[in-house]
Amino acid sequence: MAQSTKKQRRLLMDSLESRTPVRVLRQDLDDSRVEGLVIGLTDTWVVLEELIDGIFLDGVEMLRLDLVTKVEVSQKTDYITRAHADLGVVPRQFPCRPQDAARELLEIVDSTATLMSIHLELWNDEACYIGAARRFGPKRLDLQFINPDGTWDDFSDRWRFDRITRIEYGSRYIEALERWGDPVPDDVPTERVKR
């Protein structure tokens, strides 16, 4: 039986207020299940601090709500709560407003982190696009990509805000690229490829 959007929103709001871990399911998408603590909720997006290996926090995931098919409260809530208390884990803060959409969330990420990852999730096994925001237009983000070897493309890709389905930052992988990759180039690329 399909879960109503009203119930999904109630479970996400409860998680935001109580820091109860949840599992967010998105049918037929590449990363169809994300577990974490809700740290922000807008009218159209949920912001989670992702849980990996059961208890460890690994970056922030933002998921478009219209693609969420089910929200489940974690069965390991007591275990995770005890582990976080013992480890002194404090979830991040994410200052979003109810009306914030992709553009506003990306601007918050840009003010917080050097690199971000965006996903369009139009097909299975789609690569994530990690880079630095170079320009926020009225309808598009210009993102200059950093490659897995820490080098930068010499152009920017332009991505429509309304096609972005998932946003990430602060994971160990992204932070490794921030720390050991080449610095963000000083010059903003003049060549832009529209996607």
- For residue 119, how many C-alpha atoms fall within 13 Å in the half-sphere facing its CB? 22
Q: Is there a contact between 70 and 8 (Cβ–Cβ < 8 Å)?
A: yes
pLDDT of residue 29: 64
Secondary element (H or E) of residue 18: helix 5-18
CA dist 143 and 161 (Å) reads 12
* Model-wide pTM > 0.85: yes
CA dist 29 and 25 (Å) reads 9
**Token reading at 91:** 């979830």
Q: pLDDT for 8-67, tens place per residue?
A: 999 999 999 998 999 999 876 656 789 999 999 999 999 999 999 888 999 999 999 999
CA dist 57 and 50 (Å) reads 6
CA dist 184 and 19 (Å) reads 35
- For residue 28, how many C-alpha atoms fall within 13 Å in the half-sphere facing its CB? 4
CA dist 26 and 69 (Å) reads 5
Tell me how crowded residue 39 is: count the other CB atoms within 10 A of its CB.
21
CA dist 138 and 77 (Å) reads 41
Domains of the chain, earliest start first: 1-96 (2.30.30.100), 101-195 (2.30.30)
- For residue 25, how many C-alpha atoms fall within 13 Å in the half-sphere facing its CB? 12
Q: Is there a contact between 120 and 102 (Cβ–Cβ < 8 Å)?
A: no
Confidence category of residue 3, pLDDT binned at 50, 70, 90: confident
What are φ and ψ of residue 86, in 5° steps? Answer: -65, -40
pLDDT reading at 127 higher than 80: no
pLDDT reading at 110 higher than 80: yes
